[in-house]
Amino acid sequence: MNKKIIVALLVSLFAAPGVYAEAEQHKGAIDNCVKSALDGHPGDVITLRAETEGGKPQYELDIHGKDGKHWEVECDAVSGKIIETEREVAVDDPEFTSKAKVRLDAAIKTALDKYPGNIMKIEYEIEGEAGVAYEFDIKSADGKMLEVEVDAITGKLSDPEQVIYQIGLD
């Protein structure tokens, strides 16, 4: 695994003691996660996030693939197994726009009605063979960073993932 990522991870844990307790859940399987993610989508890991979803720790890796695509791979932080793989596309990508039935403004309203705060980032995701979703990073009033998805076909809101820390810039 890239030693720079490990060093940055360790520095971030000691530099931010407020998140240390949450970070403790993310021990162990990081090497397996990175290996599995890169085996499936060779390229460069741009960011690594430690997250929790439903109380379960996971990692999310953003990969700029050698295939020219941008992949987002989620991995169980305990077992090291891949949970989900999505592909990020541009706002005007025909694969996204041809399937999306929910407008961006409606998706934003859905997300912020349930999770008030400031949207820090918007992504357009291809999920599996037929799914498309808006993904939002929302900074809540209490300073927590949440990642939520709104299905761009049905408008259904996903359960949030809380971002514990992130290494790299996306």
Three-state SS sequence of 1-24: CCHHHHHHHHHHHHHCHHHHHHHC
Number of H helices, E strands in the chain: 5, 8
Least confident stretch, 1-5, 68-72, 117-121: 1-5
Number of alpha carbons in the 13 Å side-chain half-sphere of residue 21 = 1
Q: Are 101 and 152 in contact (CB under 8 A)?
A: yes
Cα separation, 103 vs 114, in Å, equals 17
Which domain does 32 fall in, by range?
3-167
Helix (H) or strand (E) holding 105: helix 104-114
Confidence at residue 3, expressed as pLDDT on a 0 to 100 scale: 46
The domain total for the chain is 1
- Report residue 10: phi and psi, to 5°: -65, -40
Q: Percent of the chain scored above 70 by pLDDT?
A: 83
Residue 147: half-sphere exposure toward Cβ, Cα within 13 Å: 22
Distance separating the N- and C-terminal Cα atoms of the chain? 19
pLDDT score at 29: 76
Rounded-to-10 torsion of CA 89, 46, 117, 98? 10
* Pairwise CA distance, residues 156 & 136, whole Å: 13
* Close Cβ partners of 49 (under 8 Å, ≥ 6 residues apart): 59, 60, 61, 163, 164, 165, 166, 167
**pTM assigned to the model:** 0.82
pLDDT, tens only, 92-151: 999 999 999 999 999 999 999 999 999 999 999 999 888 999 999 999 999 999 999 999
Residue 119 belongs to domain with CATH number: 3.10.450
